[in-house]
Structure 1
Amino acid sequence: MSLEITDLTAGYGQLRVLEKLSCNVPTGSILAVVGANGAGKTTLLRAVDGLIPASSGSVTLDGEQILGLATEKLARRGLAHVPENRLVFPGLSVQDNLVLGAWSKPRNAPFDETLALFPRLVPRLAQAAGSLSGGEQQMLAIGRALMSRPKALLLDEPSIGLAPKAVVEIMDVLARLRDSGDMSILLVEQNLSAAFRVADRAIVVAHGRVALEGSPDELMNSPEVRDAYFGGLDAKAS
């Protein structure tokens, strides 16, 4: 089974950002989404998660059409989204943040399993989330998403603003989640080396479309990927 996105077109008002974008994320795999700023990467996640309307296309999760469902219904169907900049509830404790993540499936919350993935959070359960380091807040944001036992996990720039050690820890957790075989992971990242270390496949987004697709090894040294980051493929989108 998988998260499958087909010919997705979406944007903001009259501004069309995605143009018939298609990709597939099989269960038990990570698809990295890379590209220059303004290419449409965050818009892709927001459209899949129902935060902005799509004008056309299809999104299916385990063969079930989910495009157009309200965000809370998507959570119940097994979709979890970790947005950019973490967005934890700073005044609440670490434990309360995690508990809130289980609102859609409170009887089956994987509290112990989540803490096992992020042992640095264990001694901080009573601590206010806003007092954590940036890396710990990102761990908490991902842990909160995992509390709903998602079938598909969307992550927007989880490495942004973090120390290299924290980036390694987080990417190692994503690799463990992938290897568990329980979910599809759609990973938007600007940090190519971090994303390509854990991804099974990758797409380069330019002008709201998939410009290139392949394995990390195929794309890492591609001149087209360098163009996407330094203005060639994405000059009009930035």
Structure 2
Amino acid sequence: MLEIRNLDAYYGESHILQSVGLSVDAGEVVTLVGRNGAGKTTLLKSIIGDIPRRTGSIRFGSSEIIDLSPERICRMGVGFAPEDRGIFSTLNVHENLTIGRPNKTTGWPLERIYQHFPILKARRLQKAASLSGGEKQMLAIARPLYMGASFLLLDEPTEGLAPVVVDAIGAIINDIKSTGLTILLVEQNLQFAAEVTDRYYMIENGKIVKELTNLQMADEEQSLLDYLGV
């Protein structure tokens, strides 16, 4: 579904991503791990077209998307839940969900959203600013589904959340994965990632240095935790 080859990305004169290559098959959850500043978020933003200076190839389905605008990429089915969640604090849950124009063919209707995220139904008239951290994260994940995303980019969805909420987010990711959606996940919590992930890529100084299966990750978990400093 997604194939990246020889991707370089820059912030000004800073060369952040260097010849990055990875792939995500339809229906997979693939996790990107690495230290802070390694280039994880830059990679996600490169996929959605939010990094202006990029070279190489990013193919989504049968289409080359590296030269497309973020709006075009979104309309093709790529959804992004950023690390800061990106919700509008002065709007209520319903308004946050419906502020964009959904794809009528692939977008989840509100009834389906509320079936998978019942807490959002209960909070639908509540201002987003008053939601808990976990509820804000659920809203950040639900919004691209309403818009029609078939491929989700999730940036640190468990950061700052209590363990019981992390478990709930994991259940939601597995739930939406079971519907056929594909996910590229940035996550430092390896224990959480192991519950949802099919494969891993490790990024270091803007380069992909290792690809790991779940079994390999289990064997190397402690050394990776030491490396990540978590």
Q: TM-score range by the shorter chain?
A: over 0.9
Please name the residue that 1:235 is paired with.
none
For residues 177-200 of structure 1, the C-alpha deviation after alignment (integer angstroms, 9 at most, x for no partner) is 22222x321000111111121000
**CA separation in 1, counterparts of 2:203 and 2:97?**
32
Which among 185, 188, 193 is matched to residue 187 of structure 1?
185
Please name the residue that 2:130 is paired with.
131
Structure 1 residue 227 displacement after superposition: 5.4
Secondary structure in 1 aligned to 2:99?
helix
For the Cα contact (< 8 Å) 2:104–2:148, is it kept in 1?
Answer: no
Q: TM-score, normalised by structure 2?
A: 0.93
Residue 219 of structure 2 aligns with an amino acid whose one-letter code is N
Q: TM-score, normalised by structure 1?
A: 0.90
Pair 1:115-2:114 in alignment? yes
For residues 178-235 of structure 1, the C-alpha deviation after alignment (integer angstroms, 9 at most, x for no partner) is 2222x3210001111111210000011111111111212212331652454149xxxx
Unaligned runs of 5+ in 1: 232-238
Alignment of 1:140-159 (within 5 A): 140-159=139-158
Pair 1:174-2:159 in alignment? no
For residues 105-149 of structure 1, the C-alpha deviation after alignment (integer angstroms, 9 at most, x for no partner) is 257542111111111111111111111101001101111111122
Structure 1 residue 54 displacement after superposition: 4.1
Structure 1 residue 104 displacement after superposition: 4.2
For the Cα contact (< 8 Å) 1:10–1:47, is it kept in 2?
Answer: yes
Tell me whether 46-55 or 29-38 shows the greater mean CA deviation.
Answer: 46-55
Mark the CA change 1:195 to 1:54 in structure 2 (over 3 Å): closer, same or farther: farther
Please name the residue that 1:18 is paired with.
17
Please name the residue that 2:200 is paired with.
202
Q: CA RMSD in A?
A: 1.7
For the Cα contact (< 8 Å) 2:39–2:206, is it kept in 1?
Answer: yes
Residue 163 of structure 1 aligns with an amino acid whose one-letter code is A
Residue 197 of structure 2 aligns with an amino acid whose one-letter code is A
Tell me whether 128-137 or 219-228 shows the greater mean CA deviation.
Answer: 219-228
For the Cα contact (< 8 Å) 1:32–1:195, is it kept in 2?
Answer: yes
For residues 158-185 of structure 1, the C-alpha deviation after alignment (integer angstroms, 9 at most, x for no partner) is 001111111111111111222222x321
**CA separation in 2, counterparts of 1:23 and 1:174?**
21
Mark the CA change 1:43 to 1:129 in structure 2 (over 3 Å): closer, same or farther: same
Please name the residue that 2:83 is paired with.
84
Please name the residue that 1:234 is paired with.
none
Q: How many residues align?
A: 228
Mark the CA change 1:82 to 1:96 in structure 2 (over 3 Å): closer, same or farther: same
Secondary structure in 2 aligned to 1:221?
helix
Secondary structure in 1 aligned to 2:178?
helix
Percent identical among aligned pairs is: 39
Residue 69 of structure 2 aligns with an amino acid whose one-letter code is A
